[in-house]
């Protein structure tokens, strides 16, 4: 190994770590995303070619890949206490008086910090490197989620500057509101129920078994308290500044103040401006600044005496429930919506609030004419949180979920294990038909220029289309009589349809609107099976062998292709010229060495990332399996793979390859 290659690896790691810090911690990038990606790819290539220089703390290792079946319980080296809550200025003044009775007549300084609504985490660092990440648990012990936390890019794997040899730093794993909304948009696209709120989603993300899945989520980590022996500072505010210098993301909103009036001013300011932040906050944490004062004040059985959380009042309003309407989605899912007397809430007028499903309606026991409490769930989506029973009128009766579709009057069904009711009239329910066509033409699907959602509804209402295949039979002369359709706009629409035949197979597959098949799943299936005819012939058992395809997706895909009407639509779309196979120049095949072979990947690897291994298998015509079965031909095993998977492979006599042996298999 030449010294220059090693030096380039080290130089790239140092530079990328700096760029990563500037982007994710300082929010002040100094290079473009393209330049960063090019440097990262160069480092990945060098590390792959020179595995002896593998470093788990390299910037290339942020993508995850470790699989954790059972999260080990770890005892905290320092207990994680909860905070006492206050809800008024009087509470804070009483707290200050209690402390001064213990400390005597001393001048107290305070550090005010925003209380971020996330999942509490304790990070342990040894010799400047992340050693362990543990959830709060019961305060005495929590779950080791180190593999998942390592994928969060604002968590430094290696520190900079002068830091103690060993210490813990506490904070919150949060999901920014923008990222949360994007995740929900993706779920809604595939007909799934959205996540309830960012906090629960962040907390649930830490317990996902596959760290590669965690890496896909836009999690962030905000730090606010250091604990350890012989710390090189004397106050909380100095500690925050030091942590920031070491590379931690410490919120800049923290402020050192000299008296309780300044605390009140801080609270008043952020009670209004918290809605401008990218994260959810539910209050302010006030801490005594001096560590010596903190030590003297000590702890109660549950909480530190030197800190207090002031909780903001939820943005809540009262309104009257006037009626319930039911919306029908493109998958047939029925969503009840509360129609309210208009009320001002968090700066916007709210007239409607989702009730989600029949179970939620029953749980709230909400009735027509009730005065209800409305909040903005996650500060974004209006929701009903309860009923003001003191204002309920006599004679009100519980709401009963509808039995028939509000659009086509078909009798609703509710599948076992699902919270939502569905309209089964797949072919005759107008909102489902219009919704499927609108999904088909959407930007991430066929992206047909000149055709929007309103125009789709107009075409359907005028009897010109009843499904998305009908779009390709349209003519300019049919469009001209329609409202808002002039010669030019009609020609643009037809031209957009003609150009859409060049859209690649994976997007066409997504456009078909198969339930649970979003962008990512469509891409997986398209690249795995290569064309629609092969995919249509697969059984549920075959489909779940594909990486990341679960039983629910498999059942939905099989059900879709079993419907004769869907097969007819696909034939019509084929005749229109749409792409239903991956073209040869899209496949990037290297060889057919693994043709007909199903290969499962498990564990942590050093030569390749998991994604690189998957790409190599597919490039050599193989299939990537997600679980061991009698149809598995090889298991590529890395470190820390699950013992049950290894045992099953041995029991079925499946050849087990190291990544080195796999590399030899596909060599030349």
Say whether both 277 and 323 belong to one domain.
Answer: no
Radius of gyration (Cα) for the chain, nearest Å? Answer: 29
Tell how many helices (H) and how many strands (E) occur in the chain: 25, 21
Say whether both 24 and 102 belong to one domain.
Answer: no
- Tell me, yes or no, whether 612 lies in a domain: yes
* CA dihedral of residues 429, 432, 436, 437 (deg, nearest 10): 50
Distance CA 407, CA 425 (A): 10
Say whether both 303 and 320 belong to one domain.
Answer: no
- Tell me, yes or no, whether 330 lies in a domain: yes
Distance CA 323, CA 353 (A): 11
Distance CA 342, CA 352 (A): 8
Distance CA 217, CA 520 (A): 14
Distance CA 444, CA 396 (A): 46
Among candidate residues 3, 39, 107, 115, the one labeled active-site is 115
Say whether both 485 and 370 belong to one domain.
Answer: no
Say whether both 103 and 247 belong to one domain.
Answer: yes
- Tell me, yes or no, whether 660 lies in a domain: yes
- H or E element, residue 36: helix 33-49
- Tell me, yes or no, whether 568 lies in a domain: no
What is the per-residue pLDDT for 378? 45
Say whether both 282 and 247 belong to one domain.
Answer: yes
Determine whether 648 is an active site residue.
Answer: no
Distance CA 311, CA 308 (A): 10
Q: Check which CATH number belongs to the domain holding 613 and give it.
A: 3.40.50.10190
How many separate domains does the chain show?
Answer: 5
What is the per-residue pLDDT for 510? 94
What is the per-residue pLDDT for 200? 83
- Tell me, yes or no, whether 532 lies in a domain: no
Say whether both 374 and 243 belong to one domain.
Answer: no
Say whether both 285 and 188 belong to one domain.
Answer: yes
Residue 495: count of CB within 10 angstroms of its CB: 14
Say whether both 177 and 193 belong to one domain.
Answer: yes
In contact, 287 and 236? CB cutoff 8 Å: yes
In contact, 64 and 213? CB cutoff 8 Å: yes
What is the per-residue pLDDT for 560? 95
**Which residue shows structure tokens 């800049």?**
252
Burial class (CB in 10 A: 0-12, 13-18, 19+), 241: middle
Say whether both 28 and 144 belong to one domain.
Answer: no
- Tell me, yes or no, whether 199 lies in a domain: yes
Say whether both 297 and 326 belong to one domain.
Answer: no
Residues in the chain: 668
- Domain stop point among 444, 468, 502: 502
Say whether both 360 and 333 belong to one domain.
Answer: yes
Q: What is the mean pLDDT of each run of 10 residues along the chain (668 residues)?
A: 76 86 77 81 85 83 70 89 89 93 89 93 95 90 92 93 94 91 81 75 87 88 92 94 96 96 96 88 94 88 91 84 92 91 79 87 92 71 85 90 95 87 93 94 88 91 95 94 89 93 94 89 89 94 83 92 95 95 65 84 80 82 78 85 75 90 84
3-state secondary structure of 275: helix
- Tell me, yes or no, whether 530 lies in a domain: no
The answer to whether the predicted template modeling score (pTM) of the entire model surpasses 0.85 is no
Which residues constitute the domain of residue 102?
75-311
- Domain stop point among 291, 311, 331: 311
What is the per-residue pLDDT for 644? 65
- Domain stop point among 480, 502, 524: 502
Report the alpha-carbon angle 88-92-95, nearest 5: 140
What is the per-residue pLDDT for 243? 96
Q: Check which CATH number belongs to the domain holding 27 and give it.
A: 1.10.287.610
Residue 472 has, within 13 A of its CA and on its CB side, a CA count of 18
Q: Distance from first CA to last CA of the chain, Å, rounded?
A: 23
- Tell me, yes or no, whether 332 lies in a domain: yes
Q: Put the strands of the sheet holding 220-227 in their side by side order.
A: 129-135, 119-126, 166-174, 220-227
């Amino acid at each position: 190994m030449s010294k220059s290659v090693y030096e380039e690896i080290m130089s790239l790691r140092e530079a990328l770590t700096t760029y990563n810090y500037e982007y994710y911690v300082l929010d002040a990038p100094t290079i473009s995303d393209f330049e960063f990606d090019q440097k990262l790819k160069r480092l990945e290539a060098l590390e792959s070619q020179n595995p002896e220089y593998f470093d788990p703390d390299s910037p290339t290792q942020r993508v995850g890949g470790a699989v954790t079946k059972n999260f080990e319980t770890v005892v905290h080296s320092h207990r994680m206490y909860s905070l006492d809550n206050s809800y008024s200025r009087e509470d804070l003044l009483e707290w200050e008086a209690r402390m001064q009775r213990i400390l005597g007549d001393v001048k107290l300084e305070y550090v005010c910090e925003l209380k971020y609504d996330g999942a509490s985490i304790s990070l342990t660092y040894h010799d400047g490197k992340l050693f362990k990440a543990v959830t709060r648990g019961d305060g005495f012990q929590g779950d080791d989620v180190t593999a998942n936390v390592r994928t969060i890019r604002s968590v430094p794997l290696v520190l900079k500057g002068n830091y103690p040899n060993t210490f813990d730093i506490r904070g919150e794993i949060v999901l920014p509101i923008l990222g949360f909304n994007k995740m929900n948009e993706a779920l809604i696209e595939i007909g799934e129920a959205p996540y309830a709120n960012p906090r629960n989603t962040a907390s649930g993300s830490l317990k996902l078994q596959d760290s590669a899945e965690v890496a896909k989520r836009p999690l962030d980590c905000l730090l606010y308290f250091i604990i350890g022996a012989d710390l090189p500072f004397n106050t909380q505010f100095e500690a925050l500044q030091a942590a920031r210098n070491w590379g931690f993301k410490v919120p800049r909103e923290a402020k050192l103040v000299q008296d309780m009036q300044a605390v009140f001013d801080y609270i008043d300011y952020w009670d209004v401006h918290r809605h401008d932040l990218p994260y959810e906050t539910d209050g302010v944490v006030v801490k005594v600044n001096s560590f010596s004062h903190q030590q003297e004040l000590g702890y109660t059985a549950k909480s530190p005496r030197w800190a207090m959380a002031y909780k903001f009042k939820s943005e809540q309003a009262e309104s009257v429930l006037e009626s319930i309407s039911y919306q029908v989605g493109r998958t047939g899912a029925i969503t009840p919506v509360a129609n309210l007397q208009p009320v001002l809430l968090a700066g916007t007028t709210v007239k409607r609030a989702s009730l989600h499903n029949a179970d939620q309606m029953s749980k709230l026991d909400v009735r027509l004419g009730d005065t209800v409490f409305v909040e903005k769930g996650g500060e974004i989506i209006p929701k009903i949180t309860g009923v003001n029973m003191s204002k309920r009128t006599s004679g009100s009766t519980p709401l009963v979920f509808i039995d028939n579709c509000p659009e086509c009057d078909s009798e609703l069904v509710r599948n076992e294990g699902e919270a939502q009711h569905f309209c089964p009239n797949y072919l005759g329910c107008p909102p489902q038909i219009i919704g499927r066509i609108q999904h088909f033409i959407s930007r991430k699907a066929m992206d047909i220029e000149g055709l929007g959602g309103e125009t789709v509804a107009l075409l359907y209402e005028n009897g010109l289309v009843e499904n998305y295949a009908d779009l390709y039979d349209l003519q300019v002369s049919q469009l001209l009589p329609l409202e808002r359709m002039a010669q030019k706009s009609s020609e643009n629409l037809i031209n957009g349809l003609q150009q859409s035949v060049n859209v690649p197979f994976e997007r066409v597959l997504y456009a078909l609107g198969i339930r649970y098949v979003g962008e990512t799943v469509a891409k997986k299936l398209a690249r795995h099976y290569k064309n629609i005819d092969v995919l249509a012939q697969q059984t549920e058992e075959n489909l779940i062998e594909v990486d990341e395809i679960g039983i629910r997706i498999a059942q939905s895909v099989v059900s879709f292709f079993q419907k004769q009407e869907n097969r007819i639509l696909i034939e019509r779309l084929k005749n229109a010229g749409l792409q239903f196979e991956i073209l040869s120049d899209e496949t990037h095949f290297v060889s057919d060495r693994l043709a007909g072979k199903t290969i499962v990947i498990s564990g942590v690897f050093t030569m390749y990332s998991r994604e690189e291994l998957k790409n190599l298998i597919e490039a050599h015509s193989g299939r990537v399996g997600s679980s061991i079965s009698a149809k598995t031909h090889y298991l590529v095993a890395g470190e820390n793979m699950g013992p049950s998977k290894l045992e099953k492979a041995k029991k079925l006599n499946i050849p087990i390859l190291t990544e080195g042996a796999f590399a030899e298999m596909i060599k030349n």
